[in-house]
Amino acid sequence: MSAAARPFWRTLPWRLTLAFVLVSALALGIVGLASYASTRAEFNTLLGAQAREQLASEVQTYVSAHGTVQGFRPAPPLQDAAPGGVGGPFRGGPGGDGRRHGPFVVLDTARRALYSTPEVTGGQAVQGGPLTPVRVNGQLVAYLAPSGARPRPDARSAEFLARTTRAIAWAMLGAVGLAVLTGMLLARSFLQPLQQLLVGIHALQRGETPTALASRRADEFGEVLSAFDDMHASVTRNQRARQQLTANIAHDLNTPLAVVSGTLEGMLDGTFRVTPERLGRLHRETAHIAQLVNDLRFLSLADAGELKMQRRPTDLLPLLEDAVGTFRERAEAAGVTLGVDGPADLPTVAVDGVRLTQVMQNLLSNALTYTPSGGRVQVRVERAGEAVRVTVQDSGVGLAPGAVPHVFDRLYRADGARSSGGSGLGLSICRSIVEAHGGHIALSSVEGQGTTVVFELPLAVG
């Protein structure tokens, strides 16, 4: 479903914004309710303390005036008092009217209630509970005990609580609005790399080259964009390599086929006579085609991981000596010194002897091909830590510096001097075989001084 056809509530910006709003509303709701409850509780505590102090003052005033606490009645709460009637004796009956009472009741020194409240009957002894002693000139005259009634705020206090509640509510509403705005901005910022990535993917689907997505972001989105750029560059390189490989294969097959076809046509129409030389050339060209096809099949199996290896513990020095021995006659004919050396106590290596011999044949063939008369090709084997290292070094013409990084590319030919003969797949096959053994291979070369190929194979376990 395209972005244009997708309902807005199924888009990531909407969902991210909604998530911000829900999380913010939940957090702010909890904070707002906690703030309201805390403010209310603290305010009630303050009102209770004020009521206790006021009642104690009334008792002290009454005792100072009458010499006893008996007959004391508290003044009605401020909001219930008549205008100008703040303080003074309580206007209810001796047993209390049950309508006007504060959060405390007055007890005499024997802890009996002086008047009635909804919870305490006048004359009832009150035991336990937090009692506040009331003294006049240092003499205990009464106690104040909680009556069970909640303190009632006056009009100004009630208005203060209402304003505080409204302020908290407006603050919560403003914070939610800010959360919506922040959610929209963050969603846009977060999703911008995804939009860039989507544009790049669509460009690839259309076969176009996407704009580089290199981002300055250092977060995970930046890593995703960089990974996409790297992937695109890798895909582009692989496409070009495949195109070049296809062109090279077509060229390498077309050239001998053209020779074979032209020669056969000439023989058929009588232009060419059938001679042993022409038949030998046809045989060499068909052998070259067969070798190229076999090499390509070998590499395709290696790429698919289907290259079968018959690995067994092998003493490498005799294997290398046998491989060198097959090239000794060719080396002598070319005037090149060919040698092999290595320690006799070399540990064994688990290798496929046939495949490893194929590696050595490719390397020795290359070395002898590009080493002029009077030169030297030396094979050396030695232990290198937990591996065995094999070095094939020649004193031949060497390679240009720009050619070295590409020598393992398939069908790569460095220059005209090195393009004579061969399929251009030898080193690629060597690398596939060495890597199939868990090893690695490298080549270094100095133009005019020679080339060195080194590969290492891990020692046999146990």
Distance CA 112, CA 143 (A): 9
Q: What is the structure's pLDDT at 363?
A: 94
Q: Both 352 and 449 in a single domain?
A: yes
Residue partners of 71: CB distance under 8 A and separation at least 6: 114
Q: What is the structure's pLDDT at 94?
A: 43
Residue partners of 385: CB distance under 8 A and separation at least 6: none
Q: What is the structure's pLDDT at 86?
A: 36
Closest CA to 392 of 435, 348, 360: 360
Of the three residues 163, 181, 206, the one that is the final residue of a domain is 206
| Position 78 in a domain | no
First and final C-alpha spacing in the chain: 58
Q: Both 200 and 60 in a single domain?
A: yes
Q: Both 454 and 330 in a single domain?
A: yes
Q: Both 115 and 242 in a single domain?
A: no
| Position 3 in a domain | no
Read off the tokens for 127: 């035991």
Q: What is the structure's pLDDT at 327?
A: 92
Closest CA to 52 of 11, 1, 103: 103
Q: What is the structure's pLDDT at 100?
A: 53
Read off the tokens for 96: 């209390």
Q: What is the structure's pLDDT at 410?
A: 74
**In order along the chain (462 residues), what is the average pLDDT of each group of 10 residues?**
63 80 85 86 86 90 89 69 40 43 84 83 79 89 84 78 86 84 81 80 75 66 80 79 76 82 89 88 86 82 80 92 92 94 90 91 92 95 93 93 83 55 76 91 93 91 58
Q: What is the structure's pLDDT at 67?
A: 87
Q: Both 198 and 254 in a single domain?
A: no
Q: What is the structure's pLDDT at 284?
A: 86
Q: Both 228 and 289 in a single domain?
A: yes
Q: Distances from the Cα of 313 to the Cαs of 322, 359, 414, 426, 455, in angstroms?
A: 17, 17, 36, 25, 18
Distance CA 8, CA 22 (A): 17
211 beta partners: none
Q: What is the structure's pLDDT at 90?
A: 40
Summarize pLDDT for 94-103 with one digit per residue, the tens: 444 444 567 8
Q: Are 367 and 438 in contact (CB under 8 A)?
A: no
Q: Both 134 and 225 in a single domain?
A: no
**Domain boundaries, position 267:** 220-302
Distance CA 403, CA 128 (A): 101
Distance CA 189, CA 324 (A): 65
CATH number at residue 239: 1.10.287.130
Residue partners of 122: CB distance under 8 A and separation at least 6: 94, 95, 96, 113, 114, 115, 116
Of the three residues 206, 233, 260, the one that is the final residue of a domain is 206
Q: Both 417 and 274 in a single domain?
A: no
Summarize pLDDT for 426-445 with one digit per residue, the tens: 888 899 899 989 999 999 99
Q: Both 166 and 191 in a single domain?
A: yes
CATH number at residue 386: 3.30.565.10
Query: What phi, psi does 184 have (nearest 5°)?
Result: -65, -45
Angle, helices 426-436/353-369, rounded to nearest 10 degrees:
150
| Position 80 in a domain | no
Closest CA to 136 of 69, 53, 48, 52: 69
Of the three residues 160, 181, 206, the one that is the final residue of a domain is 206
Q: How many domains does the chain have?
A: 3
Q: Both 113 and 172 in a single domain?
A: yes
| Position 86 in a domain | no
| Position 94 in a domain | no
Q: Both 296 and 315 in a single domain?
A: no
Q: Both 41 and 132 in a single domain?
A: yes
Q: What is the 3-state secondary structure (H, E, C) of the chain?
A: CCCCCCCHHHCHHHHHHHHHHHHHHHHHHHHHHHHHHHHHHHHHHHHHHHHHHHHHHHHHHHHHHHCCCCCCCCCCCHHHCCCCCCCCCCCCCCCCCCCCCCCEEEECCCCEECCCCCCCCCCCECCCCCCEEEEECCEEEEEEEECCCCCCCCHHHHHHHHHHHHHHHHHHHHHHHHHHHHHHHHHHHHHHHHHHHHHHHHHHHCCCCCCCCCCCCCCHHHHHHHHHHHHHHHHHHHHHHHHHHHHHHHHHHHHHHHHHHHHHHHHHCCCCCCCHHHHHHHHHHHHHHHHHHHHHHHHHHHHCCCCCCCCEEECHHHHHHHHHHHHHHHHHHHCCEEEEECCCCCCCEEECHHHHHHHHHHHHHHHHHCCCCCCEEEEEEEEECCEEEEEEEECCCCCCCCCHHHCCCCCCCCCHHHCCCCCCCHHHHHHHHHHHCCCEEEEEEECCCEEEEEEEEECCCC
pTM assigned to the model: 0.50
| Position 88 in a domain | no
Tell whether the torsion through CA atoms of 235, 241, 244 and 248 is positive or negative: negative
Q: Distances from the Cα of 134 to the Cαs of 42, 52, 143, 144, 270, in angstroms?
A: 24, 10, 6, 7, 143
